[in-house]
Structure 1
Amino acid sequence: MGKMLTLGEIMLRLSTTVGERVASSNQFFAHYGGGEANVAISLANFGHTVAFASKIPENALGDGVKQHLQRYGVECRYLLRGGNRLGTYYVETGIGERAAQVVYDRKGSSFAEMTKSEWPTEMFEGIDIFHISGITPALSKNWQQTLIELVQAAKQAGAKISLDINFRGKLWTTDEAKQYLKQILPYVDFCSAGKLDAQVFMDIPAPDKETDDRYYYDQMNQLYPNIELFYGTHRKVISASHNILTGRLWHQGNYVVSQSHIIDPIIDRVGGGDAFAAGVLHGIANQSSDQELIAFATAASALKHTVHGDCNLFSATEINDFIKNGSGKIVR
């Protein structure tokens, strides 16, 4: 089992019930969530030692965040306290042909307002994998510089760097993300990316004839030979509540694909990508074969779609049993 650290913003999530809209809803379901925190919780559920670094206010909502993380066994020694508020986001639950919608209310949050690292340099000592996402540098120019410095410190301490590009068009522009990725990708060892990331952020042209994602991963690796492993999912959207999910993995030239999971109905899609990323990191830490790794990660993501909230609530044993037994069977 590996020792891991994730870093990012955790927020209060308020979700509508199915069939309600944010503007007209008179009640919301509350959860805590954020990409890197979700990854940390999954990794803890899988049996890894994992810490989460962030900053939250010194109030009841901040207390709730800490209790939420500790409930699942995530270490909170690098969970800073201070600042003015906890960021919030609203999820308008999709159904049928109507897609889910997200409304952010995160400006001025404790994490977003940080201007430099407030963590000790020894934070990275003994860390095997440092996981981040493209959401953090989208928050401010200060965070763009700070994240580079943190990644450099992690590399110097011997950690591998995991990046989920996780582009959020409501937080920054495509061009801003593109320019920043050119700065950070040379430090990355494991990267969540796919066809659109290759085309939009790395200017990789489409091939002359139709091909699988191997072509794009080969091309991305030529641009960034330091990245030894790429991963991503292909999602066929039948409706907001009916998807078909397939995982893809490129590892030092070897390309593998998972079985396809039919997810119908979807209870909650938010956090599915984070569960997938955590499944990949779990496989890396356990030195799983490429096929075992992608099977586990995709199954973890599929199961996440079946529970409410941001975080995956399944153990490694439960996911492996799901892979072995198939879907829909009663476990007695």
Structure 2
Amino acid sequence: MIATLGEILLRLTPPDNGMIQQMGSYDANFGGSEANVAISLANYKIPTRFISALPDNELGKAAIFELSKYKVDTRHVNIKGNKMGIYFVEKGSSIRGSKVIYDREHSAFARMTLEDIDWDHVFDGINWFHWSGIAPAVSQNCADVTLQAVQRAAAADIPISADLNYRASLWTYGKPSSEVMPELLDHTTLMLGDPKSLEIMTGIKNPFSGDIKEQLDDLPAYYDTVFARFPKLKYIATSLRTIVNDTHHRWMGVIYDGQKLYCSTEYDLYPLVDRVGGGDAFMAGLIYGCVQYDDPQKTIDFATAASGIKHTISGDFNLVSVQDVNDLLARGGAGNISR
């Protein structure tokens, strides 16, 4: 069973690629990085547990129902308070970029304390733990809870994955990410992050300028500096996105195991439907590959294909199965009709 720690939020999106300022209504559903990962893995038939907090009201109950619908274990979601985190997604179109606005202060998750988690049992039966840099960015309380979770998982010899997920607009409670993140990353087995985020969050200098895809030969030497700083690392991965415009991206991924750089196929995503959650689908694919395969090439191929499909699906969640991903890989990235 895999556990993820984070916040599931109410997602509000203007329909038909509308702008927030012109809307009188919104499409409402749920999302959030760590919940997205949990649901992706559950769709891959991997037993999954979500560790979080939700308000004691109808919104909290609806979120629990949504997670349970995908067979995610919610027994360690603490029910407290009366506010649910919200975020607004303004989907771009053509040359107009997308926007995200958060309303997460004082949510049930933001106010979660160490006492809200049953530490003696939260990792029972867990053989992988995942967190992202969004969780400790929400509040000092969340940073404390994330650190405790990482330390407990490490003490139990549970492999740990971390998606850096730098969100500048969330780090507002008085500590920079560079003060919080290095200690959290000390026990990481699998890390997902780009050089820019790594420099901001850990101080490891980003030596790249321009398109990293044109400098792939230089990536292993850079990754070696990350391995040296975090010696428990086994893998580091980076997604590589080229933006032609908001509805046309090119997408590929790379993973490094300390010896060799493995690269996926590059996918041409056009027309792109919804990029939000694409990175989480990539993360879930990486975790699935590390758990199921002993082959970094198969892992990066699966993760990139899974994420590519997610870009064609509205909402945060990647609603595909392992078979769907494998079918895409077998087709070499081309679409087809399943009859």
TM over 0.5: yes
Q: SS at 1:98's partner residue?
A: coil
Q: Which amino acid aligns with 1:33?
A: G
Deviates more, 1:297-306 or 1:9-18: 9-18
Q: SS at 1:138's partner residue?
A: helix
Contact map agreement 1:198 1:216 (CA 8 A) in 2: no
Contact map agreement 1:18 1:94 (CA 8 A) in 2: no
2:260 to 254, 260, 265: 254
1:231 aligns with 2:237: yes
| Alpha-carbon RMSD | 1.8
1:111 aligns with 2:118: no
Q: SS at 1:32's partner residue?
A: strand
1:329 aligns with 2:336: yes
Alpha-carbon separation, structure 1, partners of 2:265 and 2:325:
14
Cα distance, 1:198–1:80 mapped onto 2, change above 3 Å: closer
Q: SS at 1:187's partner residue?
A: coil
Q: SS at 2:52's partner residue?
A: strand
Q: Deviations over 1:254-289 (max 9, x none)?
A: 210100011001111100000000000001111241
1:211 aligns with 2:215: yes
Q: Deviations over 1:16-41 (max 9, x none)?
A: 12342112201111110110000000
Contact map agreement 1:130 1:160 (CA 8 A) in 2: yes
Alpha-carbon separation, structure 2, partners of 1:163 and 1:207:
22
Q: Residue 275 of structure 1 corresponds to which residue in structure 2? A: 281
Q: Deviations over 1:182-214 (max 9, x none)?
A: 211111111111221333333325279973222
Q: Residue 159 of structure 2 corresponds to which residue in structure 1? A: 160
Q: Which amino acid aligns with 2:38?
A: A
Q: SS at 1:211's partner residue?
A: helix
Q: Which amino acid aligns with 1:124?
A: F
Q: Residue 45 of structure 1 corresponds to which residue in structure 2? A: 43
1:221 aligns with 2:227: yes
Q: SS at 2:186's partner residue?
A: helix
Q: Residue 194 of structure 1 corresponds to which residue in structure 2? A: 194
Q: Which amino acid aligns with 2:171?
A: W
Contact map agreement 2:109 2:142 (CA 8 A) in 1: no
Contact map agreement 1:136 1:143 (CA 8 A) in 2: yes
Cα distance, 1:92–1:227 mapped onto 2, change above 3 Å: same
Q: SS at 1:310's partner residue?
A: coil
Alpha-carbon separation, structure 2, partners of 1:168 and 1:48:
28
Contact map agreement 2:81 2:107 (CA 8 A) in 1: yes
Q: Which amino acid aligns with 2:177?
A: A
1:6 to 4, 7, 12: 4
How many percent identity over aligned positions?
Answer: 35
Moved over 6 A (4+): 207-210
Contact map agreement 2:110 2:141 (CA 8 A) in 1: no
Alpha-carbon separation, structure 1, partners of 2:287 and 2:176:
27
Q: Deviations over 1:213-255 (max 9, x none)?
A: 2232122111112111111200000001100001110113221
- Return 5+ residue gaps in structure 1 as ranges: none
Cα distance, 1:312–1:77 mapped onto 2, change above 3 Å: same
- Normalised TM-score (structure 1): 0.95
Equivalent runs, 1:102-181 vs 2, <5 Å: 102-120=100-118, 121-172=120-171, 176-181=176-181
Alpha-carbon separation, structure 1, partners of 2:122 and 2:98:
37
Cα distance, 1:153–1:175 mapped onto 2, change above 3 Å: closer
Alpha-carbon separation, structure 1, partners of 2:115 and 2:86:
22
Alpha-carbon separation, structure 2, partners of 1:266 and 1:175:
36
* 1:159 CA drift (Å): 1.0
Deviates more, 1:18-27 or 1:79-88: 18-27
Q: Residue 73 of structure 1 corresponds to which residue in structure 2? A: 71
Q: Which amino acid aligns with 2:129?
A: F
Alpha-carbon separation, structure 1, partners of 2:100 and 2:206:
31
Contact map agreement 2:10 2:86 (CA 8 A) in 1: yes
Q: SS at 2:196's partner residue?
A: helix
Alpha-carbon separation, structure 2, partners of 1:208 and 1:83:
45
Deviates more, 1:266-275 or 1:123-132: 123-132
Alpha-carbon separation, structure 2, partners of 1:232 and 1:18:
31
Cα distance, 1:19–1:272 mapped onto 2, change above 3 Å: closer
* 1:134 CA drift (Å): 0.6
Q: SS at 1:328's partner residue?
A: coil
Alpha-carbon separation, structure 2, partners of 1:4 and 1:322:
25
Q: Residue 241 of structure 1 corresponds to which residue in structure 2? A: 247
Aligned residues: 330
1:299 aligns with 2:305: yes
Contact map agreement 1:218 1:253 (CA 8 A) in 2: no
Q: SS at 2:83's partner residue?
A: coil
Q: SS at 2:72's partner residue?
A: coil
Q: Residue 318 of structure 1 corresponds to which residue in structure 2? A: 324
